């Protein structure tokens, strides 16, 4: 009996130990995956995104504290814009890593559409940030014009300004109070200048990787960095303008202009992502470049396949290309086309020609991920276009 109880106790101990080890092993594997995703295993896209993420954390804290202690509303608003970039960096990192996974049973054509979803999210953040910057600039402009109108002599101009500022003050986002009780410390301009330089460098570095990888989500994140550089530039002008020319609303007008430019960029990226999500075809220019890449495989001119022709030579296997279509999904392109071939072409030659067409297009455009070819036999004596 004692031996049996000892055996059961040992079994329970062994089972609990095994379960604990399994849970510990699962935890280690999960942590390893998280670390690997963050490090990106030396991946250029992940690396530049992590650099941007770390920079945004530092800039948000430094500009936020400087804006608070140096009484700079523009620098505080700029810090808020930079904080919003943190979300964009996380979305970019997640979607970039996910889109690079190989195809699976669940996603047989790969995960490239997740990159498009990430691009859409970042572009919406870009547009929202531009809207926020525009409303903030409009609020400052309204406040400045209200003070100017109050000091003007009665007349038509004063009435117009008073009515305009009254309407603007009724908009909740614009009618917020802006305190000017404390003097602005012009040293806040240094923090804005650092923001401009850092963000412009991040834009150029991220744009370089985006162009090399053909990644729309990295390109959108690069524009997000550029928009923050513009925002910091507006804050810089606001601080210096308030210090040098306190009576001119230069920073407010500049902020409105920059917000319109950023919103235009964000809207363009959003529409491009929408087209990819709805499987819109590539541009006519891209289709022409794909057809041009296949020209070396085609006969030199339109011709008629002669009666009783002998087995075609290698350069005569492809007689024509029709119905070429292509769609984009992130940094990848999927192509399908109809290839006209001699009726006498063997199965092995057809397979070899399919591989040759696919290889030719992939060598011409590195973003081509998959090529589907439908073969249409041409009878002897039939005119080939």
For residue range 260-290, what is the model confidence (pLDDT) as tens digits?
877 887 888 889 889 888 889 999 999 999 9
Nearest to 120 by CA among 281, 279, 266: 266
What pLDDT is attached to residue 245?
75
Q: Domain 284-384, what fold?
A: Alpha-Beta Plaits (3.30.70)
- Check residue 224 and give left, alpha or beta (phi > 0: left; psi -120 to 50: alpha): alpha
Fill in the DSSP letter of residue 107. Answer: S
- The neighbour count for residue 72, using CB atoms within 10 Å, is 27
pLDDT > 90 in the chain, percent:
23
Superfamily the domain 41-277 falls into: Cation efflux protein transmembrane domain (1.20.1510.10)
Topology agreement, domain 41-277 and domain 284-384: no
Least confident span in 64-68, 131-135, 304-308, 316-320: 304-308
Does position 53 have pLDDT exceeding 80, yes or no? yes
Domain ranges of the chain: 41-277, 284-384
Does position 246 have pLDDT exceeding 90, yes or no? no
Does position 68 have pLDDT exceeding 50, yes or no? yes
CA distance 360 to 363: 5
pLDDT class of 127 with cuts at 50, 70, 90: confident
Tens-digit pLDDT profile for residues 185-231: 888 889 989 999 999 999 999 999 998 888 888 888 898 898 888 88
Is the torsion defined by CA of 149, 155, 161, 164 positive or negative? Answer: positive
CA distance 339 to 245: 69
CA distance 215 to 311: 44
pLDDT class of 7 with cuts at 50, 70, 90: very low
**CB under 8 Å to 240, separation ≥6 — which residues?**
186, 189
- The neighbour count for residue 81, using CB atoms within 10 Å, is 26
Least confident span in 44-48, 100-104, 306-310, 371-375: 306-310
């Amino acid at each position: 009996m004692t031996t049996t109880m000892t055996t059961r106790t040992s079994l329970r101990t062994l089972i609990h130990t095994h379960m604990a080890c399994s849970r510990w092993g699962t935890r280690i594997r999960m942590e390893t995956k998280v670390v690997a995703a963050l490090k990106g295993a030396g991946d250029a896209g992940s690396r530049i995104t992590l650099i941007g993420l770390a920079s945004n954390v530092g800039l948000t804290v430094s500009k936020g504290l400087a804006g608070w202690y140096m009484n700079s509303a523009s620098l505080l608003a700029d810090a808020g814009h930079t904080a919003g970039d943190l979300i964009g960096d996380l979305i970019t990192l997640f979607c970039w890593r996910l889109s690079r996974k190989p195809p699976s049973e669940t996603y047989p054509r790969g995960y490239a559409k997740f990159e498009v979803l990430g691009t859409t999210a970042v572009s919406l953040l870009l547009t929202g940030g531009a809207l926020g910057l525009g409303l903030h600039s409009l609020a400052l402009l309204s406040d400045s014009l209200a003070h100017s109108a109050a000091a003007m002599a009665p007349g038509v101009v004063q009435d117009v300004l008073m009515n305009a500022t009254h309407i603007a003050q009724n908009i909740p986002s614009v009618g917020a109070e802006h305190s000017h009780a404390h003097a602005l410390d012009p040293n806040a301009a240094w923090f804005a200048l650092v923001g401009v330089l850092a963000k412009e460098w991040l834009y150029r570095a991220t744009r370089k990787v985006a162009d090399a990888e053909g990644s729309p989500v990295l390109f959108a994140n690069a524009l997000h960095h550029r928009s923050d550089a513009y925002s910091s530039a507006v804050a810089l002008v606001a601080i210096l303008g308030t210090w040098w020319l306190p009576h001119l609303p230069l920073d407010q007008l500049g902020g409105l202009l920059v917000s319109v430019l950023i919103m235009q960029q964000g809207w363009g990226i959003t529409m491009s992502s929408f087209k990819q999500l709805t499987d819109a075809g590539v541009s006519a220019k891209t289709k022409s470049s794909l057809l041009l890449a296949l020209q070396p495989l085609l006969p030199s001119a339109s011709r008629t396949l002669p009666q009783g022709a002998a087995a075609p030579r290698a350069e005569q296997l492809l007689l024509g290309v029709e119905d070429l279509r292509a769609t984009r999904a992130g940094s990848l392109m999927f192509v399908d086309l109809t290839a006209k071939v001699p009726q006498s072409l063997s199965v092995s030659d057809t397979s070899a020609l399919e591989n040759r067409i696919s290889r030719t297009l992939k060598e011409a455009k590195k973003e081509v991920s998959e090529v589907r070819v439908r073969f249409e036999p041409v009878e002897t004596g039939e005119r080939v276009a």
